[in-house]
Amino acid sequence: MKNEVQLITYADRLSGGTLQDLRALLNGPLAGVFGAVHILPFFYSIHGADAGFDPIDHTRVDPALGDWSDIKALAQDMDVMADVIVNHMSSDSPQFIDYSKRGAASPYNGLFLTFDAVFPEGATEEDLISVYRPRPGLPFTCMTLANGEKKILWTTFTPKQLDIDVQHPQGRSYLESILQALASSGVKMIRLDAVGYAIKKQGDSCFLMPETFDFIDEFAALCRSVGLEVLVEVHSYYRKQIEIAKRVDWVYDFALPPLVLHAFFFKTGKHLKQWIAQRPTNALTVLDTHDGIGIIDIGADPSDRVNRPGLVPPQELDRLVEIIHINSGGQSREATGAAASNLDLYQVNCTFYDAMGRDDTAYLLARAIQFFMPGIPQVYYVGLLAGRNDMDLLERTRVGRDINRHRYASAEVDSALGRPVVQQLLELIRLRNAHPAFDGAFSVEPTGDSCLHMRWINGPVVAELLVDFTDLRHELLFTDEGGTRRIAFAKAF
């Protein structure tokens, strides 16, 4: 993976609607800005229950976007990352339609995880209570198949997203077919979506169990065998992220977004610096994604038998969430928790720009902190354009995360690219990509809790960032053989 900033985007929500449009944008107004692009699910169909994360056919590009030749063309320009939705597929898939009609006679019998496959003798109340739930309700749906049979199927996320039995030969064959389709089309990196839920076991949480880690090990090895680097997507307590990082190529640093917000809201870098000292460095850094802002990632793990603390005290977590709601004028509250359907219990739905109160200086400093963190930075398309909450889309869909999934018309993109905050962000991205200091050694220099001083040194070249969270004064310096370049957003030292 190149040590350059990557873009995260839907193919149809940034560039006009197709993969060719996206390629034109990346080779036109955004030429040279990104080293790679993570295209969020572009499989058939992108119009399902979860914006493409419930594929009907995971081996087919949605015709509304283009076809595999468009992916190949884009992969010739830059590295491409794609998703493998490991845990589930759509109830409208041809595999499930066949199974629904033919039952045990279907060649796909065994592909979909049934209740009795995990609980052959039935489940006790304790069994059901033990299952970790990211969303309200039980992870099962009782269905009447087309042939009249009644089945209880695992549906971890929604009734339209049917869990796959990844340990069954049919499940393994299905996942292998996806890897082959991606690798043969020039995709270089894959993101394992919802893999933490892939293995189910009676009497356990069915989330990030030892058996889950074993599956991740095996599947990651299979991915590498066809030339794919592996990024694992798991929202969980930070100690589990550290453990996962030891076993895969890349993980997300999901603790970073709430810790950055905490630093600005509480005017202290104490907890952020504590995280920097222990975080994995084989991480993709993000401030925003297509999901909400994770809170669970910096809290205490209630299942920890020795009751070790989280990265941030519980009362400050509650206050952090409340400040996001205040900064967004209450909009994030309308999109979070029980206020919106298709929800995640441990995420706040809001654009990062709105979460920071639309303060350009604070927002750009947050991005600078992200870019200075060891790892590979990713910027979500809404964050790239310093986008605001899409309340119209939220009102239409009542899906909380849609508040941060705006569909940009081409004219909107052109207008946003002319905003000073976006132009300065693009300048930061180009510096992060090109400056040789970021290939050197990283350090956090001693300061008081109210400040953060990050430095990269590579021989004679240096990049450093000093932020005072009390008043947003800052120094951002890039030194090379030609001298020192100073970047200032406002309130500089």
Active site amino acids: 193, 233
291 marked among binding-site residues: yes
Contact predicate 255/275, CB 8 Å: yes
Output the DSSP codes for 305-329: TT----SS-HHHHHHHHHHHHHHTT
Q: Residue 231, class by beta-carbon neighbours within 10 Å (0-12 exposed, 13-18 middle, 19+ buried)?
A: buried
**Residue 472 neighbours by CB under 8 Å, 6+ apart:** 361, 362, 365, 490, 491
345 marked among binding-site residues: yes
Contact predicate 285/377, CB 8 Å: yes
Contact predicate 461/452, CB 8 Å: no
465 marked among binding-site residues: no
Contact predicate 164/113, CB 8 Å: yes
Q: Quick one: tokens of 287? A: 């401030």
Q: What is the rounded distance in angstroms from the CA atom of residue 153 to the CA atom of residue 162?
A: 7
126 marked among binding-site residues: no
Q: Which of 487, 488, 434 is nearest to 461 (CA)?
A: 434
Q: What is the rounded distance in angstroms from the CA atom of residue 115 to the CA atom of residue 86?
A: 18
116 marked among binding-site residues: no
**Residue 7 neighbours by CB under 8 Å, 6+ apart:** 26, 30, 33, 34, 36, 37, 38, 378, 379, 381, 384
193 marked among binding-site residues: yes
419 marked among binding-site residues: no
10 marked among binding-site residues: no
Q: Which of 19, 66, 64 is nearest to 46 (CA)?
A: 64
Q: What is the rounded distance in angstroms from the CA atom of residue 158 to the CA atom of residue 352?
A: 26
271 marked among binding-site residues: no
233 marked among binding-site residues: yes
Contact predicate 28/320, CB 8 Å: no
Residues linked to residue 229 through DSSP beta bridges, in sequence order = 189
Q: Which long-range contacts (C-beta less than 8 Å, at least 24 apart) are formed by 96-102?
A: 96/162, 97/146, 99/145, 100/145, 100/146, 100/147, 101/145, 101/146, 101/147, 102/147
CB atoms inside a 10 Å sphere around CB 485 = 13
- The phi, psi pair for 378, rounded to 5°, reads -125, 140
287 marked among binding-site residues: no
Residues counted in the chain: 493
Q: What is the rounded distance in angstroms from the CA atom of residue 66 to the CA atom of residue 181?
A: 15
Where on the phi/psi map is residue 345: left (φ > 0), alpha (ψ -120 to 50), or beta? alpha
Residues linked to residue 294 through DSSP beta bridges, in sequence order = 347
Annotated binding site: 50, 88, 191-193, 233, 290-291, 344-347, 401
Annotated binding site for sucrose: 88
Annotated binding site for substrate: 50, 191-193, 233, 290-291, 344-347, 401
